[in-house]
């Protein structure tokens, strides 16, 4: 969707052209699709992940665009700090942060493995919180002297932040935490008089490697067409392109036929 400024609305993604987007989880699935969408729209994208071959392949696919990647282990707090600092140094700052990385072990309450619980919380909650905090610090530093669109933080959350699927309590707990952090950050930013926006996007079932990665052979595809990662990337593009006066807070995006 592209609108002209003359009608008092925004220019969609156009106004972010040349700005810097940091995308975590860019090596696969939704994060990868978001990195592609934003790079093709003219943003300068820095993609983080761990699978070097996947990141190199993405860089090759985006060879005609402004794309850089970095290997970052999100369970390592110091690695996150160093990687944000390096991104600010190399690109001048972070204008858009898309927290696309996430994990979803089958980690039930009864008989669940505390190490799996910890890993879910480390990646889905603590790493997301730290990436957000550091990026917002940088956005705030530049906000007063830069009259362009203020920064935007987008969390790829989940429908599991809105209801609890059986057997996935800790994953759902992590996504409920994302929901709380979205509301909390919004409140803090408004209290600070900042124009930085924060949005959660909560997809239902998406056809990425996510479920197989954690369920292995136990994974059974649902009997309805799942969302494509690109559908979620479209939602990211839509919220980023909204006029400054509009703050999408939490966008629930289900496959049309998903029952829950
Ligand atoms: N797929 C779905 O059905 C679905 C539905 C709702 C919400 N979501 C949410 O969407 C987000 C992305 O999911 P997806 O479907 O794109 O999954 P995916 O295809 O498995 O991709 C997950 C990404 O997260 C990265 N990541 C995981 N652990 C990491 C760690 N410790 N350090 C650094 N990077 C790490 C992975 O990097 P490496 O592979 O390089 O390690 C990968 O790039 C997640 O937050 C998930 O909860 C997914």
Q: Give the side-chain half-sphere CA count within 13 A for 248.
A: 21
pLDDT of residue 41: 97
Task: Tell how far the Cα of 29 is from the centroid of ligand 1, in angstroms.
Answer: 7
> Does 171 qualify as catalytic in the annotation?
yes
Residues 234-255: tens digit of each pLDDT: 999 999 999 999 999 999 999 9
**Phi, psi values for residue 250, rounded to 5°:** -150, 115
Residue 8, pLDDT above cutoff 50:
no
- Among 168, 172, 176, 258, which Cα is nearest to 218's? 168
Residue 4, pLDDT above cutoff 80:
no
Length of the chain in terms of residues written: 260
Here the tokens at position 211 are: 């479920």
Q: pTM to 2 decimals?
A: 0.96
**Phi, psi values for residue 194, rounded to 5°:** -85, 150
pLDDT of residue 10: 55
Atom of ligand 1 nearest to the CA of 75: 31
- Give the whole-angstrom CA distance, residue 208 versus residue 227: 9
Atom of ligand 1 nearest to the CA of 206: 3
Domains and CATH numbers, the chain: 5-253 (3.40.50.720)
Q: Give the side-chain half-sphere CA count within 13 A for 10.
A: 19
- Give the whole-angstrom CA distance, residue 208 versus residue 234: 15
Mark out the alpha helices in 50-205 (DSSP H runs).
Answer: 52-61, 77-91, 114-121, 128-143, 169-191
Cα dist from 36 to 47, 59, 90, whole Å: 10, 10, 20
**Phi, psi values for residue 227, rounded to 5°:** -65, 150
What is the Cα 196 distance to its own chain's centre? 16
Is any atom of ligand 1 closer than 6 Å to the C-beta of 209?
yes
Residues 20-60: tens digit of each pLDDT: 999 999 999 999 999 999 999 999 999 999 999 999 999 99
Residues 135-191: tens digit of each pLDDT: 999 999 988 888 888 899 999 999 999 999 988 899 999 999 999 999 999 999 999
Is any atom of ligand 1 closer than 6 Å to the C-beta of 205?
yes
Q: Nearest C-alpha to atom 44 of ligand 1 is from which residue?
A: 102
* Contact yes or no for 104/157 (Cβ under 8 A): no
Is any atom of ligand 1 closer than 6 Å to the C-beta of 4?
no
Here the tokens at position 245 are: 């006066």
């Amino acid at each position: 969707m592209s609108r002209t400024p003359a009608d008092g609305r925004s220019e969609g993604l156009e106004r972010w052209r040349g700005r810097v987007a940091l995308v975590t989880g860019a090596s696969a699935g939704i994060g990868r699709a978001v990195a592609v969408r934003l790079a093709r729209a003219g943003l300068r994208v820095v993609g983080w992940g761990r699978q070097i071959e996947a990141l190199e392949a993405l860089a090759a696919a985006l060879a005609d665009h402004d794309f850089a990647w970095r290997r970052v282990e999100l369970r390592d707090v110091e690695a996150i700090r160093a990687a944000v600092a390096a991104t600010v140094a190399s690109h001048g700052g972070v204008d858009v942060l898309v927290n696309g990385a996430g994990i979803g072990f089958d980690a039930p309450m009864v008989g669940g493995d505390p190490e799996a619980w910890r890993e879910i919380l480390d990646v889905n909650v603590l790493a997301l919180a730290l990436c957000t905090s550091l990026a917002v610090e940088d956005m705030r530093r530049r906000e007063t002297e830069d009259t362009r669109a203020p920064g935007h933080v987008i969390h790829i959350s989940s429908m599991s932040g809105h209801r609890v699927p059986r057997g996935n309590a800790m994953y759902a707990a992590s996504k409920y935490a994302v929901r709380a952090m979205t509301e909390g950050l919004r409140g803090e930013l408004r209290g600070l008089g900042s124009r930085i926006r924060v949005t959660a996007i909560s997809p239902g079932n998406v056809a990425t490697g996510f479920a197989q990665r954690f369920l292995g052979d136990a994974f059974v595809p649902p009997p309805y067409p799942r969302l494509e990662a690109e559908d979620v990337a479209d939602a990211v593009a839509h919220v980023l392109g909204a006029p400054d006066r509009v703050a999408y807070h939490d966008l629930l995006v289900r496959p049309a036929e998903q029952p829950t």
